[in-house]
Amino acid sequence: MSNKKDSNKVCYAGIMFKLDKIEDQINKMHQGISNLKQRIADEFDPKEEICLDELNSGQALLESIEEICFEGLLEREPEGEA
């Protein structure tokens, strides 16, 4: 019975390690998005004329980046036995 408990501990440790790596990646993406939003906010001048095409282009860029990030996470092959 002790051998099974040890085996479970090793399995759970591996899962926790992988979850930590996923969490780190999510935190990095969150920080990158926050930095991008801050840069956009810093460059925004309320007195400047707004071009709708430019806004749509920026929105499309953000959506593409978001999609690429999520697809990258989903396409990763599982590591280890988990």
Domain ranges across the chain:
2-75
* Distance (Å) of CA 64 to CA 8, 26, 60, 72: 40, 17, 6, 12
- What is the pLDDT, as a whole number, of residue 11? 81
- What is the pLDDT, as a whole number, of residue 2? 61
- What is the pLDDT, as a whole number, of residue 30? 92
Amino acid at 14: G
pTM > 0.85: no
Query: 43: buried, middle or exposed (CB in 10 Å: 19+, 13-18, 0-12)?
Result: exposed
Question: Sign of the C-alpha dihedral, residues 70, 74, 77, 80?
Answer: positive
pLDDT in tens, 20-68: 999 999 999 999 999 988 988 888 777 878 788 988 998 999 899 888 8
